[in-house]
Amino acid sequence: MTRVGVLGLGRMGLPIARNLLDKGFEVIGYQRRPSPDLISAGGTQADSPADLAARADVLLSILPDIDAVRAVVSGPEGTLKSLRPGTVHIEMSTIDVAEKAKVRDLVQQASGDLLDAPISGSPSMVPPRLATTFASGKGESIDAVADVLAAISGPWVRAGEFGSGAHFKYIANLLLAVHTVAAAEAMSLADKAGLDLELVQRTLDESIAGSMVWKRFGPRIRSREWLPAPGPIETLHEILVQIDAYKQEVGSRTPMFDVAKALYDDAMAHGRGHLDVSSVRDQLTGKIGPHS
């Protein structure tokens, strides 16, 4: 049985660990505080990243930022302390590619490898296997962990050379932001026109004008149900900032993205980061209190 070491058992990491367990993998988890949820699901807990690396055949991490990734890999009790030669580390955090590449280089110097493999989808999409993983890096390393990639959630894609996974996710989240703003704008106009919003939703769901965002987010936009938030603005906004930097780096014009990002910037400035991304409707209509 392949033993997968999961570093980070938060809103994404824990459901990924459960999916791996469901597919028959042995899962060893690590986070700074014990995770009774992992234990109750059938996993075990490591005492440190180094302890986890010594016991696991494959490593997987999904963490909030580059500092957290550096800490679990090259920190005093990081995975490099006990990494077994040939170990592949599936790194799923959405962080700067150049900084992640520096961590990969350290892993390769220790005779392992690290893939850039971010996942596209909200935490609620992981358990039903609807989230997509974009795996990028050395082909032989991807081959070595293909069975793990297939068990993480939904489909996985060979994105290309290292860093292409992040760029795939940038494209996905650019579309998510733009489509969400377009859906909110259309619903707001329909409301101003006095139309039956449920009828508008139902009519457009399967039309050429519809989209998956319209279909999935439309009911929430229509009813202004922003909490609980399956996909908080603050999570999306972190990625929008990365997209903004990357598109400037490569010299790509993105007028639709720029408008969408400005609205989400405004939402963050008004303390609405904890609300669902669909609450951008309020930025369009001027209902921008922090707890609407």
Active site residues: 169
Residues 6+ apart with CB under 8 A from 102: none
Spatial distance between the Cα atoms of 162 and 237, rounded to a whole number of angstroms: 23
Spatial distance between the Cα atoms of 226 and 184, rounded to a whole number of angstroms: 13
Spatial distance between the Cα atoms of 157 and 120, rounded to a whole number of angstroms: 11
Q: Are 184 and 233 in contact (CB under 8 A)?
A: no
Q: Which of 283, 246, 247, 248 has its CA nearest to residue 268?
A: 283
Greatest CA separation for the chain: 65
Spatial distance between the Cα atoms of 239 and 61, rounded to a whole number of angstroms: 18
User: Is residue 192 packed enough to be buried (19+ CB in 10 Å), middle (13-18) or exposed (0-12)?
Assistant: exposed
The angle formed by the CA atoms of residues 137, 143 and 145, to the nearest 5 degrees, is 90
Neighbours of 25 (CB within 10 A): 21
